[in-house]
Amino acid sequence: MPEREFPEPGSDEPEGDLLSDWLRRTAAAMPDAPAIIEQDRVEEDRITSFGELFEQAAWLAVRFVEHGIQKQDRVALVLPKSTDAIVSVFASLLAGAVYVPVHPQWPKERIEATLADCAARLVIEGEGSPPRITDRETGESIPWHAAAAGRSDSCGEHLPPGGDADDPALILFTSGSTGRPKGVVVSHRAVGAFVKWSAREFHLCSTDRIACPSPLSFDLSTFDIFNMAWCGATCVLVPDHSVWMPRFLVQFVREARITCWYSVPSILAGMLEEGRMAQHDYPGLRVVLFAGEVFRGADVARLQSAVSQAVCANLYGPTETNVVTWCCVPRDFDGSQPLPIGQPCPYATVTMDATSGELLAGGDSLMSGYWNRLEDTQRAFVNVEGKRYYRTGDRVSRAPDGNYFFLGRLDRQVKRRGFRIELGEIETALASREDILEAAAVAVEDGKMGTAIVAFVRTRSAGAVSLLEAKAHCARMLPLYMVPDHIVFLDAIPKGSRGKIDYIALSKTAETLGHASPSQAATNQAATNQAAPDNGDQDRSPAVHR
């Protein structure tokens, strides 16, 4: 396979530096090399070369422009992770538009609200191939016609001239504490800074096979698809139905000869435990990166020993900043101490608020702001010595060697299986149901299961809402990863002297719930009843519902 014949990562790029230019250059340099491999449902791999990927994307981009799509218009991709979805990403970028990845399994209402929030001009959706492209205002559709035209030499000429690296490239929607997801606007420059650094640091090249385990709506996926475009590496899509099945994932890494893996720790923890990762060899696997949540020291050590030939590294940074610090796992890491989040990446500047211990992050990878939320954007940033920093909300400490350690959150944001969750959004969702008067949610550590979410609700009358109804309501309003594990019905939510919800008391109650095994549950019931004040569920004998 040809090595990169175009400018090396980090060198000056003559034509500006848009993510779409990367694909254009790579496709010109190595048109026949595989760009995307997708395992089909019928188990036949669909392989798309860089030439084909660029042609399809450019053909589609021209249709977008003909349709009247303007620079920085939003194109929403409500698509499963697929070749078509990645074609759509680059088609949007080549047309000068901003892509907005939306997970197709989000509840319908949430998807609609997101499309309305970002005022998407086009929506690309559908489970099958090819997807449907619809103009949201007029209802008109644009044909997909992937690859129908064959090699077309006119593709690139009808595309708008390149934009600015500070133009937005994508908007990622994350959980919002008031109940409405927030759109994080990310520029070409921000993605570029991270991707180019990672390519250099981990020596990624055209012979690499990078797995793509994350949904496109998750910032981790930018590493996979844009390193493909930047380095000419092959991006191997991990089928959505395998992502949480550890034993299939382990098999996937072996059979797809993955060389580079980047996911949340929860997925790796599953691969180590249920997937028995350590029992197999992965000769090609040379880079394993993780980010998004705390990876327990002991698990990190297990990972390092399971893939001893690979470089393992912890990458840190919220969606708003992408990765800003990182730490390579030492070969002799024994897991007795937590792994630091490390030291700043070269494109990032980080500092610590002296009073609160909050980590402040700035530099090229910073988001442009929240979409259409001026006040939130203003609150999110702070100026220190003339530089703009994002307030991460993460409390950290700094060791004498310069390494930062994550200590906890300053607010009520939690991570569950790597997904970022504002507990307030769960409360808002629960309270929006008829007959639920009040709701409070807390997160507890649930042993092997990781973080569990316990919601406490007060209903209009005892038994007005059943557990199944409450859960089903959450599933209609929230992504599945935000649906509480346990729901406890109370007569009154405990309050402090100023009338604010006493989350500390609720957390204590929640901790007594999570660890009860089925057999213990009945015997623990009495204790639980005492801990949970005034249980309101009268129609069934157990006082506390889970």
Under the binding rule (CB under 8 A), the answer on residue 526 touching other proteins is no
Rounded to an integer, what distance in angstroms lies between the CA atom of residue 91 and that of residue 226? 14
Under the binding rule (CB under 8 A), the answer on residue 243 touching other proteins is yes
* 3-class SS string, 452-493: EEEEEEEECCCCCCCHHHHHHHHHHHCCHHHCCCEEEEECCC
Instruction: Figure out which of the listed residues 242, 351, 372, 403 binds other proteins, where binding follows CB under 8 A.
Output: 242
Rounded to an integer, what distance in angstroms lies between the CA atom of residue 5 and that of residue 493? 64
Which residue lies nearer to other proteins by CB, 301 or 478? 478
Kindly state the smallest distance separating residue 475's Cβ from other proteins, in Å. Answer: 3
Under the binding rule (CB under 8 A), the answer on residue 138 touching other proteins is no
Radius of gyration over every alpha carbon of the chain, rounded to an integer in angstroms:
24
How far CA 40 is from CA of 43, 83, 216, 380, 429, in Å, comes to: 5, 10, 18, 42, 36
Under the binding rule (CB under 8 A), the answer on residue 200 touching other proteins is no
**What are phi and psi for residue 28, nearest 5 degrees?**
-70, -35
Rounded to an integer, what distance in angstroms lies between the CA atom of residue 68 and that of residue 384? 42
Instruction: Figure out which of the listed residues 148, 298, 407, 449 binds other proteins, where binding follows CB under 8 A.
Output: 449
Under the binding rule (CB under 8 A), the answer on residue 111 touching other proteins is no
Under the binding rule (CB under 8 A), the answer on residue 516 touching other proteins is yes
Under the binding rule (CB under 8 A), the answer on residue 518 touching other proteins is yes
Under the binding rule (CB under 8 A), the answer on residue 254 touching other proteins is no
Q: Which of 199, 206, 230 is nearest to 2 (CA)?
A: 206
Under the binding rule (CB under 8 A), the answer on residue 415 touching other proteins is no
Instruction: Figure out which of the listed residues 70, 72, 105, 538 binds other proteins, where binding follows CB under 8 A.
Output: 105
Under the binding rule (CB under 8 A), the answer on residue 43 touching other proteins is yes
CA dihedral 245, 487, 107, 74 (to 10 degrees): -90
Rounded to an integer, what distance in angstroms lies between the CA atom of residue 248 and that of residue 243? 8
Kindly state the smallest distance separating residue 530's Cβ from other proteins, in Å. Answer: 15
Under the binding rule (CB under 8 A), the answer on residue 35 touching other proteins is no
Stretch 451-480 residues interacting with other proteins (CB under 8 A): 466-468, 471-475, 480
Instruction: Figure out which of the listed residues 119, 245, 410, 531 binds other proteins, where binding follows CB under 8 A.
Output: 245
Tokens in use for 386? 């003339």
Which residue lies nearer to other proteins by CB, 242 or 319? 242
Which residue lies nearer to other proteins by CB, 1 or 480? 480
> One-letter amino acid identity for 397?
S
Which residue lies nearer to other proteins by CB, 242 or 351? 242
Buried b (16+ CB within 10 A) or exposed e, 30-51: bbebbbbbbbeeeeeeeebbbb
Which residue lies nearer to other proteins by CB, 497 or 523? 523
CA dihedral 17, 22, 23, 24 (to 10 degrees): 70
Rounded to an integer, what distance in angstroms lies between the CA atom of residue 190 and that of residue 305? 33
Under the binding rule (CB under 8 A), the answer on residue 71 touching other proteins is no
Which residue lies nearer to other proteins by CB, 244 or 331? 244
> Which one of 186-194, 300-308, 340-348, 537-545 is the stretch in contact with other proteins (CB under 8 A)?
537-545
> Which one of 84-92, 207-215, 256-264, 536-544 is the stretch in contact with other proteins (CB under 8 A)?
536-544
Number of residues that bind other proteins (CB under 8 A): 40
Helices in 39-169 by DSSP H: which ranges? 50-67, 83-94, 108-117
Under the binding rule (CB under 8 A), the answer on residue 215 touching other proteins is no
Under the binding rule (CB under 8 A), the answer on residue 512 touching other proteins is no
Instruction: Figure out which of the listed residues 80, 168, 213, 246 binds other proteins, where binding follows CB under 8 A.
Output: 246
Pairing of strands 34-39, 234-237: parallel
**What are phi and psi for residue 194, nearest 5 degrees?**
-70, -45
Which residue lies nearer to other proteins by CB, 128 or 518? 518
Judged by phi (left if over 0) then psi (alpha if -120 to 50, else beta), residue 418 lies in left
Instruction: Figure out which of the listed residues 258, 483, 490, 501 binds other proteins, where binding follows CB under 8 A.
Output: 483
Rounded to an integer, what distance in angstroms lies between the CA atom of residue 406 and that of residue 474? 31
Under the binding rule (CB under 8 A), the answer on residue 491 touching other proteins is no
Residue 157 carries which DSSP code?
A: G
Under the binding rule (CB under 8 A), the answer on residue 74 touching other proteins is no
**Sites of contact with other proteins (CB under 8 A):** 41, 43, 105, 239, 241-246, 248, 252, 270, 274, 417, 449-450, 466-468, 471-475, 480-481, 483, 486, 516, 518-519, 521-522, 525, 540, 542, 544-546
